[in-house]
Amino acid sequence: MIQLKYPLFWLLSGWVFVIAVIFVSVSPIVEFAAFNVNWEDKTLHAVTYFLLMIWFSGLYKRRHQVVVAVFVMALGFFLEMIQLRLPYRYFEPADLVANGIGVLAGLGLSLWLLAGWCQRIEGRLRYHA
C-alpha cells in the first residue's frame, strides 16, 4: 500500500463498497431473468467493477495494479459461482465478461493516470487545510 495520511479511511471505504457489491450480488432482493442479456445489467456490472478497480488502484503503486485487477476479477468470479448455487440467483457468463471489461478499463486507466490517486487527493487537501 502507498504511504497515505488516512489509510484506514481509504481502505475501509473500499471494503464498504466491496461488501455492498457482495450484498447486491447474493441478495434475493435484486433479481434478473436467467440468461437474458439485459444491457442495463451488463453495464451496471462493468461500471461496478470499473469503479472497484479504480478505487483500489488509489491505494497501491502502479506496479501492483495487475494484482489489484486479479483480486477484483476473482471477486466477480466467486460471486458468480455463489450465484450458481443460490436458488433465486443465476450464473451468467455475460456477467463475467462485463466484469472483465470493467476491470480491464479500470486497469488501463489506473496504469495510465490514476494509480495512487488517493495520495494526490490527500496532498491537495493538506495544501488547502
33 in any annotated domain: no
Would you say how long the chain is, in residues? Answer: 129
Contacts 24+ apart (CB under 8 A), 69-73: 69/103, 69/104, 69/106, 69/107, 72/103, 72/106, 73/49, 73/99, 73/100, 73/103
pTM of the model: 0.90
Question: pLDDT grade, residue 25 (50/70/90)?
Answer: very high
Using the predicted structure, report yes or no on whether residue 129 has a pLDDT greater than 70: no
User: Can you give the pLDDT at residue 31?
Assistant: 56
Residue 117 belongs to what domain range? 45-129
120 in any annotated domain: yes
Average pLDDT over residues 85-109: 95
88 in any annotated domain: yes
129 in any annotated domain: yes
Per the prediction, the chain carries an average pLDDT of 91
Question: pLDDT grade, residue 35 (50/70/90)?
Answer: very low
User: Can you give the pLDDT at residue 40?
Assistant: 86
The number of domains in the chain is 1
